[in-house]
Every structure is written in C-alpha cells, then in structure tokens.
Structure 1
Amino acid sequence: MKFFLISDNIDTLMGLRLVGIEGVVVHSRKDFLSVLQSKMKDETIAIILVTTKLVDMCPDIISEIKLKQQKPLITEIPDRHGNSKIGETIDGYVSEAIGVKL
C-alpha cells in the first residue's frame, strides 16, 4: 500500500517526492476530479494526500467520498503557500471532546 499526492503546486510535489511519494500537479476542478477518480480505483494506493486549495475547490465531493468510501483514505495537507486552519480545527475538536478550551 502506498501514498499518492494530488497537489496544486510543484513545490509540495517535489518535497514529497524526496520521501518517495509520487503525485501529480493539477490546477482545475475538472482535472482534480479526474485524477482523484482514477486514483481511487487503484488498489495499491492506501492514502491520497490532497492540498488544501484543491479540497476547497470541491468540499462537498470530498466530504461525500470520506463518508462513503473506506479506501483509500483522503487526507488534506497544507502546502507552503496555504493559510490553512487545520491546527485550529483540531484544537476545536479536542476542546469539544474533553470539555476544556486549549
């Protein structure tokens, strides 16, 4: 089982290639959905990494896939240009779960 990256910029792709993760760079919603659909059919891929900007292009489709599909796992990753609020979201989940504001 392996990782695969779908990115909106070459920097993230090159960085992850250094650790052995292959991927592609796409810029349009149509191209993103096409690559995502084809990689979801690939049985050798366990985790698909997607940059925040691409997830923001079609959050409804990503949410539906995450709810309905067991494999592969789709994980949002921030890139160096992003101003993602992932850390704040995780803090919110933890605070809600334990009842203490972090």
Structure 2
Amino acid sequence: MKIFCISDNIDTNIGLRLAGVDGIVVHEREEVLKAIEEARKDKELGILIITRKLAQLVPEVIDELKLSASLPLVVEIPDRHLKKDEDNDYITRYVRDSIGIKV
C-alpha cells in the first residue's frame, strides 16, 4: 500500500520524501483537483496526505473522499501557514469529528 502527499510547499514534500512518501507540490485549485484525480487512479494508494491549506481549496472533494468507504484514506496535515495558537487541538477535534469519541 502506498502513501502520497499533495503539498503547497517544498519543505513538506522533501520531509516526507525522506520518509519514503512520494508527493507533488501544487498551488492552484485546478492543480489540486488534477493531483487528486491522478492519485485516485492509483489502485495501490492507501493514504493520501494533503496540507490543510490545499484541502481548503477543494473542500467538497475532500469531504467526498473522507465520507466514502473506499481508499485512499485522506489525512489533512497542518502546514507552515498555521499560527501556533490558531488550532492547538486539531488532532483531537479530527478524531472526535471522525469517529465521535472525545479524547
């Protein structure tokens, strides 16, 4: 099973590549949509990582992927654009919203 990252900055892409995760750097909505479509064509892809800034450009597509029971599993990650105090409980909220358990 493969992992793929769609990022808006080269630093995230390089860091994940060092961990063995392939990825692409994009900036515009159309580029994000194209990257997601290409990633969905890969039947071996199990996890799609996307930076939150890019996920906010295509929320309807991300919601559709998250709500479907098929692969890939979509994981939004905070990016360098996040302010320190802006969203301290991001992971906790994500778990609560996803599976309904307060951690």
Q: TM-score, normalised by structure 1?
A: 0.82
DSSP-derived class of the 1:4 partner: strand
Which residue is equivalent to 2:70?
70
Which residue is equivalent to 1:85?
87
Q: Determine the C-alpha separation between the residues in 1 that align with 2:75 and 2:89.
A: 14
Q: Determine the C-alpha separation between the residues in 2 that align with 1:13 and 1:4.
A: 10
Quote how far apart the aligned CAs of 1:16 are. 0.6
Q: Is the 8 A contact 2:51 2:77 kept in 1?
A: yes
Which 5+ residue runs of structure 2 have no aligned equivalent? none
Q: Among the aligned pairs, what percent are the same residue?
A: 41
Q: Determine the C-alpha separation between the residues in 2 that align with 1:59 and 1:86.
A: 21
Give the counterpart letter for 1:72 in structure 2: P
* Structure number with larger C-alpha Rg: 1
Matched, 1:43 2:52: no
Which 5+ residue runs of structure 1 have no aligned equivalent? none
Give the counterpart letter for 1:9 in structure 2: N
Give the counterpart letter for 2:92 in structure 1: I
- Over aligned residues, Cα RMSD in angstroms? 2.4
Q: Determine the C-alpha separation between the residues in 1 that align with 2:65 and 2:93.
A: 24
Quote how far apart the aligned CAs of 1:38 are. 1.0
Give the counterpart letter for 1:85 in structure 2: D
Quote how far apart the aligned CAs of 1:80 are. 2.5
Q: Residues 97, 49 of structure 1: CA spacing in aligned structure 2 closer, same or farther, 3 A cutoff?
A: closer
Q: What's the CA shift string for 1:11-53, capped at 9, x where partnerless?
A: 1001111111110000000010011011111012110100010
Quote how far apart the aligned CAs of 1:64 are. 1.4
Quote how far apart the aligned CAs of 1:91 are. 4.7
